[in-house]
Structure 1
Amino acid sequence: MESFTERALTIIQSIPEGKVMTYGQIARIAGSPRGARQVVRILHSMSKKYQLPWHRVINSKGEIGLKEDDLFHVQKLSLESEGIKFTKDNKVNLDVYLHHPEGQK
């Protein structure tokens, strides 16, 4: 059986260009509904090694979770380059851009 980390990596790798998923959504689909912080750790420690599209993962409010100014802007510009539009208050409309892997809502 696959571990939570392996399932989360597969889910993150499958997020298509122009779509986002939330930390909690990934955790729930990977089998740990309360594992959002673990998803954060996976992204932090494994993004380079597995070439994860880390910029496509945001919080449940539709906001970029990074507080560091430079990284915030890198993530925002990366999402905008894929066609994702932000509201005036720097949020992504999850009704429009949230990715639902097959069979998951």
Structure 2
Amino acid sequence: MATKKVTDSSFHADVIAADKPVVVDFWAEWCGPCKMIGPSLEELSDELGEKVTIAKINIDENPDAPAKYGVRGIPTMILFKDGAPASTKVGAAPKSQLKGWIEGAL
């Protein structure tokens, strides 16, 4: 189960109206740390796919969602639960820390 690509236009359906929690990774092509955590997020999507959807949104192509949720630095990951932001993690981290943060927020 790969990470899900989300856009400003699909954000409501894919994240807010989702039937399970969604971790949204706000990223950009030029962001080194974003690329560093990409493979970890793909693996976590496989491992935690039953409990949570892991989605990615490119902030350069989709400026509305990052503005709405106050994303100032990337990578920023926001866990949405029942359509609302429940937890936020800013900056790259090892896979084990990302997994711990997601599981702790679920």
TM-score by length of 2: 0.31
Higher relative CO (CA 8 A, sep ≥ 6), structure 1 or 2? 2
Max radius of gyration: which structure? 1
The structure in which a higher percent of residues are helix is 1
Higher strand share: 2
